[in-house]
Amino acid sequence: MRRYTEHPFWQAVGILLVAYVVVVWVVPLLPGSAIVPKSVVLQYMATVLVGVLIYVSDSEERWQRFKEPITAMLVEPRLRPVRSGVLVVVPVLVGLVAYGQVQTTVAAPPNLRSIHPAPPTEITFRGKAISLTGLENPLRQHPDSLPAYLADGKRVYYQNCLPCHGDHLDGQGHFASGFNPLPANFQDNGTIAQLTESFVFWRIAKGGPGLPREGTPWNSAMPKWEDFLTEREIWSVILFLYDQTGWTPRTWEKTGTGDGGRGTGHD
Amino acid sequence: MADPLLLLQAAADTSRAYGEFPVIGARQFIWITAEVHLMFAAFVLGVPMFAVVTEAIGIFGKDERYDRLSKEFTRLLLVAYSATAIWGAMLVFGLSTLYPRFWAYLTAIFAPSMWVYAALFFIESFTLYLYYYGWDRWKKGRAKLWHWTLGILLNVWGTIVMFIANSWLTYMMSPPRDITPTTDPTTIKLWHAIANATWMPINVHRVIANVVFGGAIVGAYASYRFLAARTEEERAHYDWMGYVGNFIAMSALIVLPFAGYWLGREIYQYDQSMGITMMGGFMSWLWVIQAFLIAVLFLTGNYYLWIGMGRIPGAERFQPYTKYLLIVLVLGAIVWGTPHTMIADSKELAAMGGSHHPFLGALGVMSAKNTAVNLMILTTFLSFLLYRRANVRPVVPWARAGTLIQAGMFAVAAGVVLFYGIRGYFVEAIVRIGYSVYQVLAVLACILFVTVIDVLMARGAQSLGAIRWGKMPPRSQYALFILAVTFTWLMGLMGFARSGIRQYWHVWQVMQDTSAYAATPALGYASKMISLCVLIFLSLVAFVFWLGGLAEKSTFVATERGAQHVGH
């Protein structure tokens, strides 16, 4: 056994197997985790493979030892059955992978969608021009009235957003499973937690149809809420979303020019 | 900007605004000529920096090898200069015939700077001729210093030329805010247009990137000559040259991300939708590719050093530790390359509850990525340190204490990086952005102070044997090739990100692209175009390398007739 554990070739095989098991089976078992998409498995395994190749070849002695079993398998007469097996199994595996790649399935292909497409500098809301750059939630300027706004936001949410975004604001509403992509999960640290309130206002007001092409508007069932809600109702529901999830909206960086700051949106 | 203005502008657009190039199309022609011109320009700006530094080491360190190295590179520059000029001319002819309206607009603003540009290019070329052909004539004493000054001047001219060209392209990205579609270009003050928001960040980023690129190309040339070498002496020379090239490339690479960060920040400050398109919108996938490629650079650069330890007596003391460095680098690469929004099919999306992975998604945000990259930089620096110390044993009485202090500095820097990386998850974005500055400062401070201690500690150190230059396996040289190819590819990819975020504007929100090619290309298509540019450039560079060898052989023949032998 030790002969194998100390040999670079078998160490390399072992590391690759362990990495595969961890990524594909162990990570999904962790609390709150889920399966790792195939694209990410491929990326991780490619990185580990590069690391393994560096490990076996960064010293001449280790490199020579690593090659020993491969050379032996290819040239030694006693290993002819193994050689034959490898020469059959490897092309078959490559063929199977190629077949799997080109085979048509009923599932939609993986989607490269921009979740946070760039917002416009300015929008028109029911004919009124609103500049999004540097825009803060105007309702926050009246701290005394916040409880009333929050109550209004809660009403708006439960009347309009609940069926898709769910009671827990986690995107698991009753209708959620009927949509692809799924409704946004506000509890996730990748949605409203990363955004300014002006971005969220733009998304709610303009919905799926208002997404730029890079945001694949044809992939969103979100209505254009400016047709149904007032400006104040939208700002109220935004207050409610942040209040309920505990996230803080992204703030604008002050540039010192007194213009309220052109934004930084990067995390 | 109001829509009627756009309509007016489109209406004013005549059929003479755009030309068409046969077979490949106008945009593709401009793309290829601009990209290959830029790559050659980076070559002819990066290599002189390299040449002048190595010449200085030769002069002040009294080491003839460095002088030879410097001259060898200047010889390559002669051919590369012509290539730069040819591709530049093709670009200008392309712009004036295929995009005449846009070209007329640019010239209306920048004409005087274009004349200065041409004049400086002329002066730069003649400085190069004097620098190269005067090498053997001004070889000793005061004349050598005069010769070195020519090298400095060559860099000064080249840098100014680049700054001028940068002003044109940065104006296209970030024209001053008071300029609108109705502004008459002839009324725009030249300096006002030049000193736009992204001009200086691009200048700084490109100067550093050119050093990296110069070093990588030097490394690739050396590896080519190493693999083709017939004698031990030649192999030793090119092995050493490859090491120097790699050292310079990797050293400059360490500071490059900070300049890039500044540029990105300025883009956001200028226009947040441009910034979001770049980092969070459809261009964000380029950053995942970039992360992967930079991980390749780190891994390959370290790999080269670790193999190189095989030719250093005494390095066996450190070799057992390299596997731990490798583990940090691989884990860093995994974290850095983890996308925030994952490519997944509908089944996977349903299982994850969206395109963010509930567990791995935590690795997709900046806190994790900044931590990973800073630890990778620290690890690479540690590799350099081990390499540097491989064949020496410090004899100063405080050597042990010094080493302990160095280790402490590494621990503190890594601790600061990890602390702010983890804390970044618990604060709002505006605070988190500031944390990256502390992480960077911790790493830079560590690099600076550890280097100072190391230099002091190395005084009078006992040698464990000379480095056996030339005793390198061929695979180490392929690592140098990988570095040069990856750098070139990265330049093309990230250059596309910078330029592509203008989308359908020639000049952002001032002049629309109303041609048939106004749409921003899909990433897959762009990647293919960039790869094609890289192939064209590298094929031409291979030709330049081959010419370099050819010239050397002819000199060698001349030596037999008693002429001065140049080069190696």
Instruction: Using an 8 Å CB-CB cutoff, list chain B residues near A194.
Output: 429
Residues 61-80 of A with CB under 8 A from B: 63
CA of B267 to nearest chain A CA: how many angstroms apart? 9
CB contact under 8 A, B356 and A112: no
Closest Cα to residue A174, out of A182, A164, A184, A188?
Answer: A164
pLDDT below 70 — which residues of chain B? 1-15, 551-568
How far apart are alpha carbons A100 and B21 in whole angstroms? 41
Pick from B268, B329, B523: CB nearest A266 = B268
Helix B474-500 with B26-60: angle, nearest 10 deg: 130
Q: Which of B1, B296, B330, B369 to mutate: most A Cβ within 10 Å? A: B330
Read off the tokens for B298.
């780190």
pLDDT at position B14 = 56
CB contact under 8 A, A189 and B273: no
CB contact under 8 A, A266 and B264: yes
Q: Count CA atoms within 13 Å of residue B1 on its CB side.
A: 18
Which chain A residue has its CA at the smallest distance from B368's CA? A267
Which chain A residue has its CA at the smallest distance from B348's CA? A37
pLDDT at position B556 = 38
Q: Which of B274, B343, B483 to mutate: most A Cβ within 10 Å? A: B343
Instruction: Using an 8 Å CB-CB cutoff, list chain A residues near B295.
Output: 47
Which amino acid would we find at residue B88?
G
pLDDT at position A5 = 85
Is residue A266 scored above 70 in pLDDT? no
Give exposure, A183-210, as e/b (b: 16+ Cβ within 10 Å).
bbbbbbbbbbbbbbbbbbbbbbbbbbeb
- With contact defined as beta carbons under 8 Å apart, do B320 and B306 qualify? no
How far apart are alpha carbons A232 and A130 in whole angstroms? 13
How far apart are alpha carbons A254 and A7 in whole angstroms? 59
Pick from B310, B367, B523: CB nearest A60 = B310
Which chain A residue has its CA at the smallest distance from B509's CA? A121
Distance of CA B224 to the CA centre of its chain: 21
pLDDT at position A19 = 97
CB contact under 8 A, B274 and A266: no
Q: Which helix (H) or strand (E) holds B30?
A: helix B26-60
A vs B, Cβ pairs < 8 A, gives 217
CB contact under 8 A, B339 and A30: no
Q: With an 8 Å Cβ cutoff, is A18 touching chain B? A: no
How far apart are alpha carbons B82 and B75 in whole angstroms? 12
Pick from A58, A109, A251: CB nearest B428 = A251
DSSP class of B190: H
CB contact under 8 A, A116 and B365: no
Read off the tokens for B344.
């997944």
DSSP class of A217: G
* ipTM of this complex prediction, to 2 decimal places: 0.83
Match 């756009």 to its residue by tokens: B6
Instruction: Using an 8 Å CB-CB cutoff, list chain B residues near A43.
Output: 292, 337-338
Q: Which of A18, A40, A123 to mutate: most B Cβ within 10 Å? A: A40
pLDDT at position B567 = 34
| Beta partners for residue B462, in sequence order | B393
DSSP class of A250: B
Q: Which of B180, B272, B435 to mutate: most A Cβ within 10 Å? A: B272
Report chain A's C-alpha Rg in angstroms: 27
pLDDT at position B555 = 40
pLDDT at position B563 = 36
CA of B215 to nearest chain A CA: how many angstroms apart? 22
Instruction: Using an 8 Å CB-CB cutoff, list chain B residues near A59.
Output: 306-307, 310, 319
CA of A250 to nearest chain B CA: how many angstroms apart? 6
Read off the tokens for B198.
């992204």
Q: Is the preceding omega at residue A181 within 30 degrees of 0, hence cis?
A: yes
| Beta partners for residue A124, in sequence order | A129
Read off the tokens for B488.
């070139």
Q: Is the pTM of this model over 0.90?
A: no
Where do the H-state alpha helices sit in A58-179?
60-75, 80-102, 146-156, 162-165
CA of B348 to nearest chain A CA: how many angstroms apart? 6
List of residues 6+ apart from B410 with CB closer than 8 A: B378, B382, B446, B450
pLDDT at position A252 = 77
A122-245 CATH pick, 3.40.50, 1.10.3470, 1.10.760, 4.10.1110: 1.10.760
How many residues make up chain A in this entry? 267
Closest Cα to residue B69, out of B135, B140, B156?
Answer: B135
| Domain ranges within chain A, ordered by starting residue | 2-102, 122-245
Which chain A residue has its CA at the smallest distance from B267's CA? A264
Give exposure, A98-119, as e/b (b: 16+ Cβ within 10 Å).
eeeeeeeeeeeebbbbbbbbbb
Which chain B residue has its CA at the smallest distance from A121's CA? B273
CB contact under 8 A, B307 and A177: no
Integer CA distances (angstroms), A87 to A66, A72, B458, in order: 19, 14, 54
Q: With an 8 Å Cβ cutoff, is A111 touching chain B? A: yes
In three-state form (DSSP H/G/I as H, E/B as E, the rest C), the secondary structure along A72-98 is HHHHCHHHHHHHHHHHHHHHHHHHHHH
Q: Which of A132, A247, A264 to mutate: most B Cβ within 10 Å? A: A264
Which chain B residue has its CA at the smallest distance from A216's CA? B282
Instruction: Using an 8 Å CB-CB cutoff, list chain B residues near A251.
Output: 428-430
How far apart are alpha carbons B522 and B514 in whole angstroms? 18
Read off the tokens for A199.
């971005």
Q: Report the range of poorest mean pLDDT among A15-24, A77-86, B10-19, B351-360.
A: B10-19
Instruction: Using an 8 Å CB-CB cutoff, list chain B residues near A263.
Output: 268, 272, 275
pLDDT at position B3 = 62
Read off the tokens for B446.
């560590």
Instruction: Write the pLDDT tens digit of every residue in A125-175.
Output: 999 999 888 889 999 999 999 999 999 999 999 999 999 999 999 998 999
Pick from B355, B365, B473: CB nearest A267 = B365
Beta strand B462-463 with B392-393 is antiparallel
Sequence-ordered strand ranges (E) for chain A: 122-125, 128-131
Q: Report the range of poorest mean pLDDT among A75-79, A186-190, B70-74, B561-565.
A: B561-565
Pick from A33, A38, A185: CB nearest B354 = A185
Our CA angle for B421, A196, A110, nearest 5°, is 75
Is residue A179 scored above 70 in pLDDT? yes
Instruction: Using an 8 Å CB-CB cutoff, list chain A residues near B359.
Output: 27, 30, 32-34
Residues 192-231 of A with CB under 8 A from B: 194, 214-215
% residues pLDDT > 70 (chain B): 94
